[in-house]
Chains A and B, each alone.
Chain A
Amino acid sequence: MLSTGTRLRSWILAIGLCVGVAACGTPAPTSSSAATKGPLTIGISVSLTGDFSNTGKAAQLGYQLWASQVNAKGGVLGRQVQLTFADDASSPTQVVTNYQNFISRDNVDLVFGPYSSLLTLAAAKVANRYGYAFVEGAGNGPSVFAAHLPNLIDAGPATAINGAQVWGDYILSLPADQRPKTAAYPSLDDPFSQPAAAALQARFEAAGIKTVYSQIYPAETTSLGGVIAKVASTNPDMVVSGSQDADGWAQVQAMIQQKFNPQFLFMTNGPENPVDFPKNVGAQNTQGIFTSDVWTYNAPIPGNTAFVQAYIAKFGGDPSQIDSTSAQTYAVGQLIEAVAAKTGKIDNATIIATLHQGSYQTVVGVVSVDQYGAPKGSQFLEEWIGGTLTIVYPPNIAEHAPVIPKPVWP
């Protein structure tokens, strides 16, 4: 039998443990404005290894550039920004662990998003559970916004799907006699590309452009010769390819090999990469190919030139080699600065409330999101003209008028 003193000590210990566990398990989101004058700590999971490592590193560079610039200016509301990175190995399991550690173990003030929609969705749910704002620049797939997370804000001008609608805007702006009459839609089975192509198909069909081919090919398809042979046999005026990088290159190569040349060729992804696309299809074969994009190094967006110059000064290299992911993560930091400037506070609740209203200028354009953090805007249309990726639509930011029809392959 336990003595009264021993029992009392046991009760005190048990209560103490319960309080301790509760305190560790559900930390209140930090109210940074009131809390401290110390550094503003921000936890970010990045894919430094694994499948997303190349782009994950680009995401890290954007965050680092923003932090160095804002710290040189005196920090956010006088607080130096202190970034803490953790490698998630491109794993949705590890990314959850990383954000739980940032929030419940490290008690960071804020968290920023990782790279890819896959990891963003998993991570944003963790942040939401703890009441943390989740501002991210590289996760705008439909699954992210379908989760209806109130803490999420995507720091881009458009979602992955709506972005491609600029091609629809342009085609339907053409006089009826210049519009394509028939269209083919070969699309990769991918959560970004295929829905984007399908949305365009629905819009074009409603406008009277007849669909002559619409098929989805699996991601593991290594040869697209059969697909393009079928597309060529239907002889469409326009091809809208729901593509990503590698299959986009394969589509172009197969079109050239089979001497099939549509009058209009729009690809959701692939041609927007100014380095890899010409390297893989041949610079001479790029002429007249359209794509949509959220950012390029020469886009006439306020602050973009300064961003590019600062990036080159800090990391070196060539402007054309800057990954758009770096600009998108840099924009995340710009949004935080905007909140601080607008409200004089930088806590999670203020960030969530502020960014869900109004619009904010960033290096990737004007950011304005709906209640679930999905951007409301559109991307811009680019065309390869004379070996250069050129903004051609909308007219207010176009560097050159669109060149149509597409010339024959050289």
Chain B
Amino acid sequence: MHLFIQAIILGVLTGGLYALMTSGLTLTFGTMRIINMAQGVFVVCGAYIGFTLFNYLHIDPFLSILVSTPLLFAIGFTLQTFLLKPLRHDAHRLSLLMTWAMAIGLEGILSFIFGTDFRGILTTYQNSSWTIAGYEIPVVRALAFLLSVAILVGMYLLLTRTKFGRSVRAVSQRESAAKLLGVNTDRTAALAFGLGAATAGAAGAMFGLVSSFDPASHYDLIGRLLAICVIGGLGSNAGAIAGAVILALSESLVQAELSPAWSSVPFYVLLIIVLIARPQGLFGVRARGAI
């Protein structure tokens, strides 16, 4: 039982971070109906920003979020404006290729700047853990979880309580109607894409703390993030959180109780079942506008 509960603790803590990474993907799909294949590499960019600031300026990776978030927002906004916006007449088909090209391009740039060796960020509290009732709570994962939850709450408030949020929801529900009501849909789309990248930037700085990474880490990340999105429901923030926690929990439990070789299997079996029985995902709806 001790091992079971320890595995649940580790799974939930990891799930929070994945939820933050996935929320940006969900936002982009909700507003633009674009599956952003570059979300994984945006996370890796955030990790390298955290790594650089920590190693050269001794800025704590949690504080580096204040840099990585606006920087990734700017990158996302720029890429959307110059590379995705011109495709909007055929965005559903071409955007997949374009965002994949962005991912490959950014991976190349990261490889050129940082090389292809694995990197990690080692803070003074990196290996610390709190012992609570005999269970070990890694400090880094706990802080990353709490900060991820805080950012997700902030995202929720932004989307539900602000004018920008109303614009995003309007565009996600019916773009043409939003345009008729005076919403600048192009600007909203660019801001939403930037915001999606910004969440990856924030998550990336924390990802670099809990896991080592290299420029090619995005391949594995985007696979997981897409699977989380699909299982939770494309375009659903609640679904992203649920999918992320299910993924991390199942991996951790199977790793500990059965075999690490099978750790990904239960999640992907569930993914297949969901695709057959409920293709819109656990929290998705068939109509537009889940956000």
A-side residues, CB < 8 A to B, are 49-54, 186, 189, 215-218, 220-227, 229-230, 233, 245-246, 249-250, 253, 256-259, 276, 279-282, 285, 409
What band does the interface of chain B fall in when counting residues whose beta carbon is under 8 Å from A?
Answer: 35 or more
Distance, CA A52 to CA B115, complexed state (A): 9
Within 8 Å of chain A (Cβ to Cβ): is B120? yes
Contacts of B253 in A (CB 8 A): 226
Contact, CB under 8 Å: A226 / B260: yes
Known contacts A53-B111, A53-B115, A259-B131; is-contact A225 B138 (Cβ 8 Å): yes
Known contacts A223-B10, A226-B10; is-contact A257 B127 (Cβ 8 Å): yes
Known contacts A229-B3, A259-B131; is-contact A221 B115 (Cβ 8 Å): no
Contact of B115 among A54, A222, A226 (CB under 8 A): A54
Within 8 Å of chain A (Cβ to Cβ): is B176? no
Contact of B136 among A51, A230, A257, A279 (CB under 8 A): A257
Contact, CB under 8 Å: B212 / A221: no
Q: Which of A189, A218, A223, A282 lies at the interface centre, i.e. has the most chain B CB atoms within 10 A of its CB?
A: A223
Contacts of B261 in A (CB 8 A): 189, 215-218
Contact, CB under 8 Å: A217 / B260: yes
Contact, CB under 8 Å: A282 / B138: no
CB distance from B54 to the nearest CB of A (A): 12
Known contacts A229-B3, A233-B2, A280-B212; is-contact A257 B129 (Cβ 8 Å): yes
Give 18 CB contacts A-B under 8 Å.
Answer: A52-B116, A53-B111, A215-B260, A217-B263, A218-B260, A221-B263, A223-B211, A223-B248, A226-B11, A229-B10, A229-B255, A230-B256, A233-B2, A250-B211, A256-B127, A257-B138, A280-B120, A280-B212
Distance, CA A218 to CA B10, complexed state (A): 18
Known contacts A217-B255, A279-B122; is-contact A226 B7 (Cβ 8 Å): yes
Within 8 Å of chain A (Cβ to Cβ): is B251? yes
- New A-B contacts (5) at CB < 8 Å, excluding given A51-B216, A233-B2: A53-B115, A226-B252, A253-B127, A257-B127, A259-B136
Contacts of A249 in B (CB 8 A): 118, 120, 212
Contacts of A279 in B (CB 8 A): 120, 122
Contacts of A229 in B (CB 8 A): 3, 6-7, 10, 255-256
Known contacts A218-B264, A229-B256; is-contact A50 B116 (Cβ 8 Å): yes
CB distance from B214 to the nearest CB of A (A): 8
Distance, CA A230 to CA B251, complexed state (A): 13
Residue of B nearest to A49 (CB): B111
Known contacts A54-B115, A54-B117; is-contact A223 B212 (Cβ 8 Å): no
Known contacts A53-B111, A233-B2, A280-B212; is-contact A258 B256 (Cβ 8 Å): no
Contact, CB under 8 Å: A258 / B260: no
Within 8 Å of chain A (Cβ to Cβ): is B184? no
Contacts of A281 in B (CB 8 A): 122, 127
Contact, CB under 8 Å: B115 / A280: no
Distance, CA A54 to CA B3, complexed state (A): 40
Contact, CB under 8 Å: B263 / A250: no
CB distance from A310 to the nearest CB of B (A): 24
Q: Which of A53, A222, A282 lies at the interface centre, i.e. has the most chain B CB atoms within 10 A of its CB?
A: A222
Contacts of A409 in B (CB 8 A): 127
1/0 per residue, CB under 8 A from A, across B138-162: the answer is 1001000000000000000000000
Distance, CA A54 to CA B126, complexed state (A): 27
Distance, CA A212 to CA B138, complexed state (A): 25
In the A-B complex, list the 3 residue pairs whose CB atoms are closest, starting with the nearest. Answer: A226-B255, A217-B260, A256-B127
Contact, CB under 8 Å: B210 / A223: yes
CB distance from B100 to the nearest CB of A (A): 18
Contact, CB under 8 Å: A225 / B10: yes
Distance, CA A215 to CA B256, complexed state (A): 10
CB distance from A324 to the nearest CB of B (A): 14
Contact, CB under 8 Å: A276 / B117: yes
Contact of A246 among B6, B7, B212 (CB under 8 A): B212
Contact of A226 among B111, B127, B211, B256 (CB under 8 A): B256
Distance, CA A218 to CA B237, complexed state (A): 29
Contacts of A217 in B (CB 8 A): 255, 260-261, 263
Contacts of A246 in B (CB 8 A): 118, 120, 212, 214
Residue of A nearest to B223 (CB): A220
Residue of A nearest to B140 (CB): A257
Contacts of A222 in B (CB 8 A): 211, 220
Contact of A230 among B3, B115, B122, B248 (CB under 8 A): B3
Known contacts A218-B261, A222-B211; is-contact A282 B118 (Cβ 8 Å): no
